[in-house]
Every structure is written in C-alpha cells, then in structure tokens.
Amino acid sequence: MKITGIDCHVLLAPNYDPRLTSSAQDSFIVQVHTDQGITGIGESDVNPWIAKACVEAPGTHTMGLCIKDMVIGADPLDIAGLWQRLYVGTAMNGRRGAVIHAIGAIEMALWDIKGKALGKPVCELLAGDGPVRDHIVPYASLQPSGRSFEEYRDSLVEWAVRARQLGFKAVKAEVTMNGPYAHSGLHEPYERHTEVVAAVRNALGPDLALMVDVQYMWPDAATALATVRDWKPYDLFFLETPIWVDRLDEYAKLHDQAPMKIALGEWQATRWEFEDIMDRGKVDVAQPDVGRVGGLLEAKAVCDMAFDRNRIIVPHCWKTGVSIAATAHLAFTAPHCAFIEFLPPELCVETLRKELATTEMQIVDGQIARPRKPGLGIELNMDALRRYTVA
Ligand SMILES: [Mg+2]
C-alpha cells in the first residue's frame, strides 16, 4: 500500500472567541489517502495554520525536508519507520513543538489506515502482545464561564452537578481566576480559589473523583504551597499544571511537599520531554496529549516510561471526537491509565467538539467499553468539515 495524498484542513468555529482559553474552538485535521481507497483521519491540538505550514512547507536541505513530500509514496503501514524519517528529516525545524504536533496528526491517521486495512480497532494493534482493557473511565472536563467570582463559582458547581447526573465518575474543574489562563476579566486572589474548590467538592459529594487544573497559575512551589497546603480535605485526585511549565525543579519541590499528586504533560512533545518532567520534575501523573506528543506510538512510549517509574497516566484531550477516539484507544492499552479527559458535548460550548466527528464510543455507567470497529472507529461529519474549513 502507498500513500497517494494528504489533505490538511484548517478549521475554525464561526462562534470562536479569541478571549476564551479553549483550544477546541479550532482544529487541525488531516486526511491521509492511499492507493487502496482507504483514508485515515488524524487531528492535533495546535494552531491549524501553523500545522498546515509545517506539513506543506517545501524542504530546503537534508535536515529540513518537506513532510508532505516524505509522506506521499510511503508505506502507511510502516508507522514507526515513517515517523522516524519525519522526525529526523525535520530535525532542524522540529524535534519539539508545532512540527511534532503536526506529525502527531499524520501518525494518528496512519493508525486509522492500518486498523481499517487489517479490520482491527487501533487499540488491539497498538497493544501488540500486551492486554487490552474491557473498559476505561472518562472524566468530565469542565471549564466554567462567568465574569465575576460568584458567576464563575456557581457555573462550575452547576456543571459539576450535571456531570454527576450524566453518570460521570470523575470530574476536573478548571479553577483559574489568576495567572496566564485567567479570562473574562477575572483576577482573584489565590485564597478565593480555595473557596471554589470547596464549593465543587461540596456539590459533588465524597464519591466522585475530583481533579483541579489551575493552568500554570503559580510562579514557584512556595507560592503554590501557601494555598494548596489547605486543600487536603477536598481529597483531590490530582492538581494539574500548578506552576509554569519550564520550572521543573519547582515541580519537584511541590511533589515532595504538596498533599496531592501533581500532574503535567499537556504541552509536552516527544518522550524526551516526558523523561524530563518525570525524572527532574517528579510529576506523579503524566498527561500526554496524543497529537501533541507526536502520535500514538510516542504516547505509548510515555505510558511505558510512566509504568516503569510507577507513575499514573491520565491523557490530556481538549479537542473533537477524533482526538477523543485516539486517546481512548491509547488508554485501552495502558493498565495504569486512571482516566481519560473527556469534553462532554452536553457541558461545553465548542461547536467543533459537538459536530465534527461521530464515534461508536458511548458512556455507560460512567465507563467506555472496548471499541470493536476497525481503525479509530470515527466518522467525520463532512458537512461540518466543509462548513468550518477556513483554509
Ligand atoms: Mg490543563
């Protein structure tokens, strides 16, 4: 089998608001076509114009080759071999960041092709000789709205209660009224974040797992600890990205002193960045995002590294049904994956999440059952793809 073409789609929801923090308002979708009539679908969480340029920019020297040229004519079933050629062939422009994120979307599409060609779901192929789980557990990722403290707190409480009513066993609250992700004009002192965490735990009751994401709010461990030392009574499953991403020595201090597990990894590309955050940053929960880390094989390598280090995996995914499906297939191969991130269409405003892809994966009793369809098991809504394509 040979790859005959690749289409890069730049999608933007017509109701997008650049003042919001949600990266699910846009999408980078690739379709990889083959000479056997099989098309694979992939996605990555990266500025889609940048990613399209990463794929289509002409090559100018041996360490800065054109991704599209390398992909066309290649065997789509040789996923590891093609990934390695792309990684090395773009090394002077890539190795990390947007180039790796763009390669991740292509790699995801190759797995979709392989699954469709062999008549098997991606999780079975990705697991190799390893076991495939019967069920995985999604957590509802909740991004509150509101332009005042009270509106923000109340919207989060309301959505947490609705997530429980929808049957979710776990919820993650974005509690970010300060720091780089603060939006809607909010700028609240750190101690008011404690009030929000307390309100959400109180509304959820003791049985659901609760995670909190403060989105890089604190500059260092000492500042973070001044607030989160008080959060032990709220029994958090983890605290996500408490400190600016590059301050790994501060992460290590927080790991040693905080009363909950620390999570990081949504932005990291390649296994090498995860080696840094686990070994130097001592993070307890690694959060690879399948597209951003470079694809399913790279995400699987991160899972294996976490397993060897006795750490937990909870993948990041704030995107459409395409990435959710890829994330789920990964989780079915990882026994130490506690939850997958899941943006409930009922509890989000993102048009692309609601409309772009359909999937066989349904949540029943708070769990997702092992997929049976070949490939990623998703279908693109071609009408939505056309309507939201801007380049
Ligand atoms: Mg996050």
Distance (angstroms) between ligand 1 centre and the Cα of 339 equals 14
Query: Percentage of the chain surpassing pLDDT 70?
Result: 100
Q: How close is the Cα of 129 to the center of ligand 1, in Å?
A: 32
- pLDDT, tens digit (0-9, with 9 covering 90-100), for 189-240: 999 999 999 999 999 999 999 999 999 999 999 999 999 999 999 999 999 9
Q: Determine the distance separating the centroid of ligand 1 and the alpha carbon of 54, expressed in angstroms.
A: 25
**Ligand 1 centroid, distance to 273 Cα (angstroms):** 17
Q: Tell me the pairing of strands 367-369 and 170-174.
A: unpaired
Contact 277, 265 (CB under 8 A): yes
Determine the distance separating the centroid of ligand 1 and the alpha carbon of 341, expressed in angstroms: 10
Q: How far is the CA of 213 from the centre of ligand 1 (A)?
A: 6
Pairing of strands 340-342, 3-12: unpaired
Q: How far apart are CA 360 and CA 328, in angstroms?
A: 11
C-alpha distance from residue 210 to each of 75, 88, 230, 310 (Å): 44, 41, 16, 21
Q: Cα(357) to centroid of ligand 1, in Å?
A: 22
CA angle 7, 10, 11 (to 5 degrees): 125
For CA atoms 337, 345, 266, 124, give the dihedral sign. positive
Helix/strand/coil percentages in the chain, nearest 5: 40, 20, 40
Tell me how far the alpha carbon of residue 72 is from its chain's centroid.
27
The 10s digit of each residue's pLDDT in 310-355 is 999 999 999 999 999 999 999 999 999 999 999 988 888 899 999 9
Q: Residue 177 Cα, ligand 1 centroid: separation in angstroms? A: 14
What is the 266 CA–ligand 1 centroid distance (Å)? Answer: 6
Pairing mode of beta strands 236-240, 262-264: parallel
- The residue ranges of DSSP E strands in 3-78, in sequence order, are 3-12, 26-34, 39-44
Query: Ligand 1 mean position to 35 CA, how many Å?
Result: 39
User: What is the CA(116)–ligand 1 centre distance, in A?
Assistant: 32
pLDDT greater than 90 at residue 77: yes
CA distance 200 to 122: 36
Going from the N-terminus, what domains does the chain have, and what CATH number goes with each? 3-120 (3.30.390.10), 135-380 (3.20.20.120)
pLDDT beyond 90 at 51: yes
Least confident residue range of 135-144, 148-157, 341-350: 341-350
Ligand 1 centroid to residue 317 C-alpha, Å: 9
Measured in Å, residue 342 CA sits from the centre of ligand 1 at: 12
Q: What is the pLDDT of residue 349?
A: 85
**290 Cα: distance to centroid of ligand 1 (angstroms):** 14
Instruction: Give the per-residue pLDDT at 21.
Output: 84
Report the pLDDT value the prediction gives residue 145, as an integer from 0 to 100.
Answer: 84
- Tokens 């009539």 belong to 37
* Ligand 1 center–CA 316 separation, angstroms: 7
Q: What is the mean pLDDT of residues 150-178?
A: 96
Q: Output the pLDDT for position 65.
A: 98
- In terms of pTM, does the model score above 0.85? yes
User: Is residue 275 over pLDDT 90?
Assistant: yes
Q: Quote the ligand 1 centre to 227 CA distance (angstroms).
A: 19
pLDDT, tens only, 11-35:
999 999 888 889 999 999 999 999 9
Euclidean distance between CA atoms 359 and 388, whole angstroms: 19
Distance from the alpha carbon of residue 214 to the mean position of ligand 1, in angstroms: 8
Cα 202 to ligand 1 centre (Å): 22
- Å from CA of 181 to ligand 1 middle: 10
For residue 14, report the distance from its CA to the centre of ligand 1, in Å.
Answer: 24
Distance 191 CA to ligand 1 centre (A): 20
DSSP E strands in 115-214: the ranges are 135-136, 138-142, 170-174, 209-213
The token duo for 293 is 């880390």
pLDDT band at 359 (very low <50, low <70, confident <90, very high): confident
> Worst-scoring range by mean pLDDT, 53-62, 176-185, 207-216?
176-185
Question: d(Cα 298, Cα 275) in Å, to the nearest integer?
Answer: 12
Ligand 1 centre from 147 Cα, in Å? 20
- 366 Cα–ligand 1 center, Å: 21
Q: Give the whole-number percent of the chain exceeding pLDDT 90.
A: 93
Q: How far is the CA of 242 from the centre of ligand 1 (A)?
A: 10
Distance from the alpha carbon of residue 331 to the mean position of ligand 1, in angstroms: 18
- Between the CA of 32 and the centroid of ligand 1 the distance, in Å, is 29
Banded pLDDT at 258 (limits 50, 70, 90): very high
